[in-house]
Structure formats: C-alpha cells, structure tokens
Structure 1
Amino acid sequence: MDRNTLDDAALWQQVKRGDTASFTCLFERYWDEMFSMAYRRLADEATAKDFVQNIFIHAWENRQQITVESNLSPYLFTALKYSVVRHIYRVAKQGTTDLPLSVYSLPDETEQKKQDHHEFDRLREKVQSEIAAMPDKMREVFILSYEKELSIREIALRLSISEQTVKNQVHNALKRLRFRLQNQAIFLPFIL
C-alpha cells in the first residue's frame, strides 16, 4: 500500500490502529509547512521545531480522541496557533519581551489568522471564566500551578497542604475544565 496516495482521513484510521508508518507519512506531509509557520512567528529555529514536535507527540498520544473527516491540517494548525500565541503571552508576561500591541500585529497575518486569534481569545475567556467558577481552594491551586508555574512541592509548602492534595486539586480542576469545555478540550494543553 502506497501511503502517500491516501488522504489524511484514511491514514488517520490506520494511525488510530497504532500504525506508525501512516503517522510518519502525515508527519512528513505537514512538518515543513508547520515548521515554517512556527519559525516565522517565533524567529527561533529550536523553539519552532520543539513546538511542531510537541504537537505531533500530542496528536499521537490523543489519536483516539481526534476525529479527521477529510484532513488533519485543521487540528495541527489550530494546535500550533494556540501554542505560539500562548508562548508569546508567556514570554511577554515574564518581561523578557514586549507583548505586541495586538495579537493581530504578529508578522505575516492574514484575515483567517486574525479570525483564529479571535477564536483563541474567546476560548481563553471561556477557560478563565471556568477557572473563576471553581471552588476557592481548587482555583487557588490551579492558578499557582498553571499561571504561576509553581511545582507541586512549592504549592504544597505555600498553602500548607500535602503534595497529594495539590495533585488531586490540579487533577480535579483539569477534569472539570475538560468536562465543561468538551468541544475544545483537545486544545486545552495548548492554552493552559
């Protein structure tokens, strides 16, 4: 079977069965374009490669939950877009670079990409709203873990609770977010 002649949906069915050769075919089909897009926005070759690699790793690990109707590119490029925007915001938050006055001023943007940023912002607002609705202790632990990027141990020491309690709170918070944002849950790792 010549995998290069198969469309993404047919290859993805094979991927769901654990076929690494079909996954490699999809990887080779999209790697260059994804790397190019990431590199144009990040201007760092190693970081761009890492982002693309991580998206493919995530796709492989979550292959049973990902549905491909015609091609895989919407999933891949949406995940890449969320990863890049999140990275830009994180770097700006650390004070090592300025946040663009608008995400729309990122280089090489088209109208579709601007719409994508609107979607990212709406999803991020939904996530923030769900975080705000969490019980107080769960929200506090979750914010320290995902926004402040503290370790389980650091959170436990800061809040004077056990490390297991911290792990449970983070697990329950993620479970809650996935349930409440079911349609977008596959993109949560690229937003949080």
Structure 2
Amino acid sequence: MDRNTLSDAALWQQVKRGDTASFSCLFDRYWDEMFSMAYRRLADEATAKDFVQNIFIHAWENRRQIAVEDKLSPYLFTALKYSVIRHIYREAKLGITDLPLSVYSLPDETDPKKQDHYEFDRIREKVQLEIASMPEKMREVFTLSYEKELSVREIALRLSISEQTVKNQVHNALKRLRTRLQSQSVFLPFIL
C-alpha cells in the first residue's frame, strides 16, 4: 500500500488505530507548508519549528478526538493560527513586542486555508464565560496559572495554600473546561 496516494481521511483512520507510518506520511505532507506559515508570522526559525512540532504532538496525543472528514489541514492550520495569536498576545503582555493593531492583520494564507477569524473570538469568549462561572478559588488559581503565568510554587505562596491544592485546582479547572466545551476541547491548548 502506497500511503502517499491515500487521502487524509483514509490516513487518519489508520492514525486513530495507532499507525505511526500513516501519521508520518501526514507529517511529511504538511510540515513544510506549516513551517513556512509559522516562520512568516513569527520570524524565528526555532520558534516556528517548535510550534509546528507541538501541533503535531498534540494531534497524535488527541488523534481519537480529532475528526477528519476530508483533509487534516483545517485542524492543523487553525491550531497553528491560534498558537501564533496566543504567542503574540503573551509577548505583548510581557512587553517583548508590540501588539499588532489587529491580530487579523496577520497575513492570511491562500483561500482554501482561510479560517474564520470570528471563530477564534467565539471560542475564546466561551472559554472566558466558563472561567468566569468557576468557583472563586478555582477561578483565582486558574487565572494566576494561565493568564499571569505564575508557577505552582508562586501561586501557592501568594494564596497561602499548598502546591498540591494549586495543582488540583488547575487540573479540575481544565477538566471542567474540557467537559463544558467538549466540541472545542481539541483547540483549548491553543486558545488558553
């Protein structure tokens, strides 16, 4: 069987069963294009490679939850876009770079790969609403962890709680988000 002639959907069915050769074929099929897109947006080769590699790792780890009806590219390029936007916002928050006038001013790819920018805002809005509805202590720990990017130790010291309590609260918050945002849960790591 020549995997190079198979469709993404056919390869993904094999990937779901743990076939690493089919996954490798998809990796080879999209690596160059994804790296090129990431590099154009990030202007840093090492960071671009890390982003693309992390997306493929995440795809492998979540292969049973990812549905591929035709092409894998919508998932891959959407995940990459969310990762880049999150990275830009984090760097801007830290004062490393200026925030572009709009993340929508990032260069778009060709028409087949265009993603709806409103989708990102819609999912992010849902995430923010779910975070706001968390119990107060859970929300506080989660916010310090994901928005302020404090370590477990720093959060424990700041809130005068044990490190294990911090870990439990973050774990429970993520579990809650995944459960309540089940249809978007595959993209949560790229949004949070």
The alignment's TM-score, normalised by the length of structure 2, stands at 0.94
Give the superposition deviation at 1:129. Answer: 1.2
- C-alpha separation between the residues in 2 aligned to 1:32 and 1:110? 15
Give the superposition deviation at 1:121. Answer: 1.5
Give the superposition deviation at 1:116. Answer: 2.8
Matched, 1:154 2:154: yes
Gaps (5+ residues) in structure 1?
none
Q: 1:39 to 1:22 in 2, by over 3 A?
A: same
- C-alpha separation between the residues in 2 aligned to 1:98 and 1:111? 28
Matched position secondary structure for 1:50: helix
Matched, 1:124 2:124: yes
Q: 1:30 to 1:45 in 2, by over 3 A?
A: same
Q: 1:112 to 1:144 in 2, by over 3 A?
A: farther
Q: 1:111 to 1:131 in 2, by over 3 A?
A: farther
Matched position secondary structure for 1:69: coil
Give the superposition deviation at 1:107. Answer: 3.2
Matched, 1:15 2:12: no
Matched, 1:103 2:81: no
- C-alpha separation between the residues in 2 aligned to 1:108 and 1:76? 15
In the TM superposition, 1:1-192 aligns within 5 A as 1-108=1-108, 116-192=116-192
- C-alpha separation between the residues in 1 aligned to 2:60 and 2:113? 25
Q: Decide whether the 8 Å contact of 2:108 with 2:114 is kept in 1.
A: no
Q: Bigger shift: 69-78 or 99-108?
A: 99-108
Give the superposition deviation at 1:111. Answer: 7.7
- Alpha-carbon deviations, 1:68-96, whole Å to 9, x = none? 11111111111111001111111111111
Give the superposition deviation at 1:112. Answer: 8.0
Aligned residues: 192
- Alpha-carbon deviations, 1:31-81, whole Å to 9, x = none? 011111111111111111110000000001111111111111111111111
The alignment's TM-score, normalised by the length of structure 1, stands at 0.94
- C-alpha separation between the residues in 2 aligned to 1:16 and 1:113? 24
Give the superposition deviation at 1:21. Answer: 0.7
- C-alpha separation between the residues in 1 aligned to 2:22 and 2:109? 32
Amino acid across the alignment from 1:164: Q
- Alpha-carbon deviations, 1:17-40, whole Å to 9, x = none? 111111100000000111111111
Amino acid across the alignment from 1:143: T
Give the superposition deviation at 1:117. Answer: 2.4
- C-alpha separation between the residues in 2 aligned to 1:117 and 1:94? 24
- C-alpha separation between the residues in 2 aligned to 1:27 and 1:43? 22
CA RMSD, 1 decimal: 1.6
Q: Decide whether the 8 Å contact of 2:74 with 2:113 is kept in 1.
A: no
